């Protein structure tokens, strides 16, 4: 199985070693973003600091270097002088229409890279800008009112990209250029997290931003059948990046500090940990 890393409100946990980075941390494969502004990279068996900066929210390894999404709906890369703003992202068509329902600044909530190096960024609230030239130019794709929370590339299928949005599960079959929305079988359409487990897709769905009744759902990646609920009801949202999968191994974490695990692509589940601080992210490192 792939090594499990758990980001929490108190630190980064790597079973069985325990806490390896202290303080609130989010983990994205070999990158970790700390609440104190440090950007860490896992190299030669240890976490080393690459750069520092404020308001970092997500990361993906990409052509030209590690790509970071931030509050204010910006992108940055690690350069020779630290984090450097990706200026091209500031020129996305329609950027002036990005917003948040409460009136604050939008944010770059998630990032993805397909196997043929197409880059996608979900903006909350601003749709999914896409770049097929390594980030030199970006173009809008999905309607911003779909309110996308996470975009996710499908390993081995560069044509297929999936997303979790307030309107349901979204799928693209042309590398993220066009999208369709699927919600059949979900008890509610508000989706926050998405992952690919073997030949299945899993998505978290709830009744809204405050979560209320929430659950994970699954269906075959290429199936036309409705989604099927595969967990009991969960209190609160399974949030963006709090769900991950590698082959048939799946994990998700909750704000209550509980981590669940499945080794059969989400068909059955067992509690892995129930004694942690609120989960910020989980990663089955490649």
Kindly tell me if the per-residue pLDDT of 1 is higher than 90: no
Q: Look-up: residue for tokens 């309607």?
A: 143
Q: Which residues pair with 193 in a beta bridge?
A: none
Give the pLDDT confidence of 171-186 residue by residue, as tens digits: 999 999 999 999 999 9
Q: How high is the pLDDT of residue 101?
A: 87
Q: How high is the pLDDT of residue 140?
A: 98
Q: How high is the pLDDT of residue 118?
A: 98
Domain span holding position 222:
80-280
- Is 98 within the bounds of a domain? yes
Confidence of residue 228 (pLDDT cuts 50, 70, 90): very high
- Is 45 within the bounds of a domain? no
Confidence of residue 248 (pLDDT cuts 50, 70, 90): very high
Query: By percentage, how much of the chain surpasses pLDDT 90?
Result: 92
Q: How high is the pLDDT of residue 58?
A: 98
Kindly tell me if the per-residue pLDDT of 285 is higher than 80: no
- Is 211 within the bounds of a domain? yes
- Is 129 within the bounds of a domain? yes
Contact 141, 177 (CB under 8 A): yes
Rounded mean pLDDT, 33-38: 97
Indicate the number of domains in the chain: 1
- Is 186 within the bounds of a domain? yes
Give the pLDDT confidence of 195-215 residue by residue, as tens digits: 999 999 999 999 998 878 899
Give the predicted TM-score (pTM) of the model: 0.96
- Is 251 within the bounds of a domain? yes
- Is 35 within the bounds of a domain? no
- Is 44 within the bounds of a domain? no
Give the pLDDT confidence of 56-114 residue by residue, as tens digits: 999 999 988 899 999 999 999 988 788 999 999 999 999 999 999 888 899 999 999 99
Which DSSP string corresponds to the chain? -PPEEEEESSEEEETTTEEEEESSEEEETTEEEETTSEEEEEETTEEEEEEE-SSEEEEE--TTS-EEEEBTTEEEEEETTEEEE-GGGGG-TTGGG---TTSS--EEEEEEE-TT--EEEEEETTB--EESSTTSS-B--S-GGG-EEEEEEPTT-TT-EEEEETTEEEEESSTTSS-EEE-TT-SS-EEEEEEEETTEEEEEEESSTT-SEEEEEEEETT--SPPEE-S--EES---TTSEEEETTEEEEE-TTS-EEEESSTTSS-EEEE-S-SPEEEEEE--
- Give the CATH number of the domain where residue 260 resides: 2.130.10.10
Contact 21, 31 (CB under 8 A): no
């Amino acid at each position: 199985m792939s090594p499990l890393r758990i980001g929490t409100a108190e630190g980064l946990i790597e079973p069985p070693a325990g806490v390896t980075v202290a303080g609130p941390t989010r983990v994205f494969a070999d990158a970790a973003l700390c609440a104190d502004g440090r950007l860490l990279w896992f190299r030669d068996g240890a976490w080393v600091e690459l750069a520092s900066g404020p308001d970092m929210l997500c990361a993906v390894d990409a052509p030209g270097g590690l790509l970071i999404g931030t509050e204010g709906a910006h992108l940055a890369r690690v350069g020779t002088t630290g984090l450097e703003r990706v200026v091209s992202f500031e020129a996305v068509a329609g950027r002036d229409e990005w917003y948040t329902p409460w009136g604050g600044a939008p944010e770059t909530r998630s990032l993805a890279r397909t196997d043929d190096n197409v880059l996608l960024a979900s903006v909350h609230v601003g749709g999914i800008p896409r770049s097929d030239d390594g980030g030199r130019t970006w173009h809008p794709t999905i309607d911003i009112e779909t309110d996308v929370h996470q975009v996710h590339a499908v390993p081995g299928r560069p044509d297929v990209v999936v997303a979790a949005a307030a309107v349901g599960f979204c799928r693209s079959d042309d590398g993220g250029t066009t999208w369709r929305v699927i919600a059949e079988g979900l008890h509610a359409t508000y989706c926050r997290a998405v992952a690919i487990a073997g030949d299945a897709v899993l998505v978290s769905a709830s009744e809204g931003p405050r979560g209320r009744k929430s659950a994970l759902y699954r269906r075959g990646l290429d199936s036309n059948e409705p989604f099927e609920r595969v967990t009991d009801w969960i209190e609160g949202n399974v949030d963006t990046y709090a769900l991950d999968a590698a082959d048939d191994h799946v994990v998700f974490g909750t704000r209550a500090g509980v981590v669940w695990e499945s080794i059969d692509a989400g068909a059955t589940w067992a509690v892995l940990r129930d004694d942690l601080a609120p989960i910020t992210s989980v990663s089955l490192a490649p």
